Amino acid sequence: MKRVPVILYGAGGVGSALLRQIVYGRDWMASRNNCHFVVISVTDSKTWQWAVGGLSDEQLLDIVAAKGQGLPVDPQWRGQAVAEMQRPSDHGVLDAASEAELENVMIIDVTAADGMESVLKRSINLGYSVVLANKKPLAAPWARAMGFFNHARVRHESTVGGGQPIIATLRYLLDTNDPIYQIEGQMSGTMGYICQRMEAGVAFSTAVQEAKNSGYTEPDPRDDLGGMDAMRKLLILGRMAGWPLEESAIAVESLYTPEMAMLGVPEFMSAITQLDERMQARVAAARANGEALRYVAEVNEQGGAVGLKAVPAGSALANLKYISFRTDRYHDEPLLIGGKGAGVEMTAAGVMGDMLALVREVY
C-alpha cells in the first residue's frame, strides 16, 4: 500500500469536502488505487494542525465540523479572539515538512489566496508534488506561473470547470499533437445564471440579488460580476494550449461601473438597479436577432476576451454548460465538454482525481 503524505492549505468549502472524501473513501482508495493518504497538516488562514505521523480521521472530521461552524482548524484557538490566533507562515509549514525529512509530500492548495506561487515553487524544488484548485498562482504573471504548466508533478483539474475533465481533455489533445486554435465557453456559473434569468424577463439587479440569496455569488457579488474569475480560467486554458499570454491580453467586461467599485455591498446592491434598463435593452436586441445574451469567454493565440456577447440561440455557446475546443482535428465541429457546473463536492473530486493520477504516475 502506498502511504502518501499530504499537506492541505485551505479548509473552506473545497478543503472540507476533500477531507470528507479522504476519510470516507479510505476503503475504496485502498482497494482500487492501493493508496492511503496520510494528512500531515491542515492549514486555514489563521491556524493549523500538524502531526508528523498523520492526523487521525477523528481529528480530520473534527476540523470539517469546526470549519462548518466558522471555527479555526486548531482546537486550542477556538473561542479565542481572531487577532490572537497564530500559526507558522505558509513557508513555515514547508520548513516543518523538510525538517521532519518527509519525502514525496503532496501539497494541496485549495485556498483562494494571492501569492502562493513561492510556496508552490519551493514545494516542487523539494521534490514534492502539487495539486491546485486555486487559480491565482496559475494566472499570475507568466514569469511566476510558467513553472506550473506542463510539469509532471503539478495538477490543476479543478481550476476550470470544477471536476469536469476540461484540463484532462486539453492535456489529451496536446499529448496527441492536435494543435488548439480556439477555446470558448461560459466560464462563470454565476454569470450564466444571471443571463438565464434576464432572458426569462427578470431585471438584472433582481437576478443578481437572487444569485446572491441562493449562495451562487461570493459574499460580495462584484467578485463574480467583475469577470476576473472567468478571466483567470481563460488565461489558464490559453496558457495550457501553449500561448504564454499575460492578463493584459484578455479584455474583461465588468458588469458594473467603476464608480460602483467604491460602494459598500448593500449600497452596491441598490445602485445596480441603474443598470437594469441598459441590460434589458441588450437582452431584447439579442432576442430580436434570434440570439441569446451570454457571458462568453474566448481565447486564441493572439489573446482573448470575457464579456457579454449575443450568440446564436440554440448554439453550444448559448447552452450554458459547454466549453468548446476548436483544434486541427476538431476543426469544422469543435469538441464540446459539458455537464453540471462546479460545487464544492465536484471540485474536491477533481482535486482527488489529480491526487490519484499523481499516485499512479509519480509515486
The reply to whether 96 sits near ligand NAP by the rule CB under 6 A is: no
Which residue minimizes CB distance to ligand NAP? 12
**Residue ranges of E strands in 186-290:** 250-252
For residue 57, the minimal CB distance to ligand NAP (Å) is: 19
DSSP string over 116-168:
-HHHHHHHHHTT-EEEE---HHHHS-HHHHGGGTT-TTEE-GGGTTTTSSHHH
Under the criterion CB under 6 A, does residue 254 sit at the interface with ligand NAP? no
Residue range at the interface with ligand NAP (CB under 6 A); choices 30-38, 243-251, 287-295, 337-345: 337-345
Among 2, 12, 98, 249, binds ligand NAP (CB under 6 A): 12
326 by DSSP, 3-state: which? strand
Q: Which helix (H) or strand (E) holds 156?
A: none
Nearest approach, Cβ of residue 115 and ligand NAP (Å): 8
Question: Which of residues 2, 13, 147, 303 is near ligand NAP by CB under 6 A?
Answer: 13
Figure out which of the listed residues 23, 61, 113, 203 binds ligand NAP, where binding follows CB under 6 A.
113
Cβ–Cβ under 8 Å, residues 233 and 187: yes
Question: For ligand NAP, which residue of 6, 14, 194, 195 counts as binding (CB under 6 A)?
Answer: 14
- Please, are residues 145 and 137 in contact by the beta-carbon 8 Å criterion? yes
Residues 6+ apart with CB under 8 A from 33: 356, 359, 360
Cα dihedral sign, 159-160-163-165: negative
Task: Tell me whether residue 182 is exposed, middle or buried, using C-beta atoms within 10 angstroms of its C-beta: 0 to 12, 13 to 18, 19 or more.
Answer: middle
DSSP class of residue 325 equals E
22 part of the interface to ligand NAP, by CB under 6 A = no
- Cell numbers linked to 202: 427578470
- Amino acid at site 187: M
- Binder to ligand NAP among 49, 129, 134, 190 (CB under 6 A)? 134
Does 135 engage in binding with ligand NAP (CB under 6 A)?
yes
Based on CB atoms, which residue is closest to ligand NAP, 9 or 37? Answer: 9
CB of 312 to ligand NAP, least distance (A): 28
Least distance to ligand NAP, CB of residue 224, Å: 11
Q: Which of 19, 64, 130, 133 binds ligand NAP (CB under 6 A)?
A: 133
Give the nearer residue to ligand NAP in terms of CB position, either 116 or 293: 116
DSSP character at residue 105: P
Minimum CB distance to ligand NAP smaller for 202 or for 342: 342
Among 90, 157, 298, 354, binds ligand NAP (CB under 6 A): 90
Cβ closest to ligand NAP, residue 15 vs residue 307: 15
What is the C-alpha separation between 242 and 223, in angstroms, rounded? 28
Question: Min. distance of Cβ 162 from ligand NAP in angstroms?
Answer: 5
Burial (CB < 10 A; 0-12, 13-18, 19+), residue 213, is: exposed
Q: Is 190 in the site for ligand NAP (CB under 6 A)?
A: no
d(CA 13, CA 19): 10
* CA gap 302, 305 in Å, rounded: 11
H or E stretch covering 298: strand 291-300
- Residues belonging to the active site: 233
Residues in 267-296 that interact with ligand NAP by CB under 6 A: none
Cell numbers placing 115 = 501569492
Q: Is 163 in the site for ligand NAP (CB under 6 A)?
A: no
Q: For the CB of residue 87, give the shortest distance to ligand NAP in the complex, in Å.
A: 9
Using CA atoms, how far residue 274 sits from 148, 193, 257, 268, in Å, is 42, 20, 10, 10
Residue of 9, 193, 295, 322 that binds ligand NAP (CB under 6 A): 9
Q: Is 130 in the site for ligand NAP (CB under 6 A)?
A: no
Query: Could you list the residues that contact ligand NAP (CB under 6 A)?
Result: 9-15, 43-46, 90, 110-113, 133-135, 158, 162, 342-344, 347
